[in-house]
């Protein structure tokens, strides 16, 4: 949950790692189902598990302002455990990899989007990316750019592009040489205002195409379990980029 949570969750966890106090409400009736729907529920979970301790308490003022607990990591042993866990994520990514690849390897969608937005805004020109679905073929531009970013993974992954799998041709596939690692499929789509109302819909269209055309088929045949195949849709409109 920490690895896949949003930026606010990661920032709050960083505060804990700095041995500082975070303040949040606590749900003593927490059930596991809540963890998937509420990022803040993890603090209740960690408190119940003994990884956090209460160091402060602020009573409820009214119904709109529930009681708030001041929480810290229980002790140095717990802090060392979490430090080791996070170091392992970055070690898996490799210190020499660019920020996009590091984010991709730990499935940090938010960091992937931030990187692409920054690059698109500061480096890409409208001439490069195009502004219409039928003009300049911007899919090829982003396709080529992302291939350039991930080429440094060639020692760990078999990287293929525009190959047949299932009922069509995927854009990019990363097949890990170690089958215990996750496989990755990427599909690129340019926003088309005649078919979609937003970049979010374009992302969903890309992901739907991966499923409908069964691009994961070649990986399944090779023994990769479905839960270890990660699929990403890239949507763009000129310099606007969205990854889902």
Q: Is 18 exposed, middle or buried (CB count within 10 Å of its CB: 0-12, 13-18, 19+)?
A: exposed
Q: In this structure, what DSSP letter does residue 196 have? A: -
User: Mean pLDDT, the chain, as a whole number?
Assistant: 82
d(CA 207, CA 26): 36
d(CA 131, CA 190): 9
For residue 164, give the H/E element and its range: strand 164-165
Could you tell me the pTM of the whole model?
A: 0.61
Query: Among candidates 57, 90, 89, which has minimal Cα distance to 72?
Result: 57
Structure-model confidence comparison of residues 25 and 88, the more confident one: 25
| Sheet with strand 52-58: strands edge to edge | 22-24, 68-73, 52-58
What integer pLDDT is reported at residue 92 of this predicted model?
56
CA distances from 124 to 1, 162, 235, 238 (A): 33, 23, 15, 9
Q: In this structure, what DSSP letter does residue 182 have? A: P
Those residues with Cβ within 8 angstroms of residue 111's Cβ, 6 or more apart along the chain or in another chain = 99, 102, 103
Please report, in angstroms and rounded to a whole number, the separation of the first and last CA atoms in the chain: 17
Q: How confident is the model at residue 241 (pLDDT cuts 50, 70, 90)?
A: confident
Out of 62-71, 84-93, 168-177, which region has the weakest mean confidence (pLDDT)?
A: 84-93
pLDDT tens figures, 214-235: 999 999 999 999 999 999 999 9
């Amino acid at each position: 949950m920490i690895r896949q949570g949003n930026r606010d969750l990661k920032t709050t966890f960083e505060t804990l790692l700095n041995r500082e106090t975070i303040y949040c409400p606590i749900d003593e009736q927490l059930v596991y189902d809540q963890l998937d729907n509420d990022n803040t529920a993890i603090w209740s979970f960690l408190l119940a598990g003994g990884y956090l301790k209460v160091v402060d308490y602020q009573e409820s003022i009214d119904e709109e302002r529930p009681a708030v607990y001041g929480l810290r990591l229980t002790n140095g042993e717990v802090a060392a455990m979490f430090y080791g866990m996070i170091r392992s994520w970055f070690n898996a990514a490799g210190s020499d990899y660019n920020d996009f690849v590091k984010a991709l390897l730990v499935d940090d969608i938010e960091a992937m989007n931030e990187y692409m937005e920054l690059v698109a805004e500061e480096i890409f020109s409208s001439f490069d990316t195009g502004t219409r679905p039928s003009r300049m073929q911007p899919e090829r531009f982003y396709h080529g750019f992302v291939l350039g970013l991930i080429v440094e993974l060639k020692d760990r992954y078999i990287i293929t592009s525009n190959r047949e799998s299932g009922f069509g041709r995927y854009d990019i596939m990363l097949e890990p040489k170690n089958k215990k690692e996750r496989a990755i499929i990427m599909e690129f789509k340019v926003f088309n205002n005649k078919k979609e109302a937003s970049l979010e819909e374009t992302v969903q269209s890309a992901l739907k195409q991966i499923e409908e055309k069964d691009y994961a088929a070649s990986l399944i045949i090779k023994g990769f379990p479905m839960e270890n195949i990660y699929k990403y849709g890239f949507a763009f409109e000129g310099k606007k980029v969205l990854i889902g």
